[in-house]
């Protein structure tokens, strides 16, 4: 299990298990936030707590950050999918680096092609350490 929290500790998330990878997205929002995402569904292995401020971008999702310290904590889809599940991604930069250091980084071109890019062999420790 991984746990993450904002800088002041008011917003927290829990990810059951260990994600298979971390996603670095190049869209205008993710690039500016400097986040690494781990995906899942709300209440299905990912739980969040604490009061957040949401920034709704477009018509699909909201980015949630701590209104006290400003840390970007997670994004959540605005509407559940056809199965009633709500997609969510937590910011792995809010957890301790040790347990996730060897996770491979998946790159997503959210700026131009909206496609997954091939893995280049880098992992989180290549960015953090």
pLDDT score at 127: 83
Residues 6+ apart with CB under 8 A from 114: none
Q: Which domain covers residue 83, as residue numbers?
A: 2-128
Cα–Cα distance for residue pair 4/122, rounded to 1 Å: 22
Give tens-digit pLDDT for 71-120.
999 999 999 999 999 999 999 999 999 999 999 999 999 889 889 899 99
Closest CA to 16 of 37, 52, 35, 40: 40
pLDDT score at 128: 78
User: pTM to 2 decimals?
Assistant: 0.93
Considering its fold, how many domains does the chain have in total?
A: 1
pLDDT score at 25: 94
CATH code for the domain of 76 = 2.170.150.70
Give tens-digit pLDDT for 22-50.
999 999 999 999 999 999 999 999 999 99
pLDDT score at 47: 97
Using alpha carbons, list the distances in angstroms from residue 53 to 18, 30, 50, 60, 71. 27, 16, 10, 16, 10
pLDDT score at 129: 67
Q: With a cut of 90, say whether residue 58 has pLDDT above it.
A: no
């Amino acid at each position: 299990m991984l746990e993450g929290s904002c800088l002041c500790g008011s917003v927290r998330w829990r990810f059951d298990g260990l994600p298979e990878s971390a996603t670095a997205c190049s869209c205008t929002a993710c690039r500016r936030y400097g986040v690494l995402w781990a995906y899942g569904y709300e209440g299905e292995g990912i739980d969040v707590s604490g009061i957040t401020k949401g920034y709704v971008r477009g018509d699909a999702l909201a980015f949630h950050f701590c209104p006290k310290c400003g840390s970007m904590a997670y994004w959540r889809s605005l509407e559940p999918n056809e199965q009633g599940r709500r997609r969510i991604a937590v910011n792995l930069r809010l957890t301790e680096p040790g347990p996730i250091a060897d996770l491979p980084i998946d790159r997503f071109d959210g700026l131009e092609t909206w496609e997954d890019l091939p893995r280049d062999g880098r992992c989180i420790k290549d960015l953090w350490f």
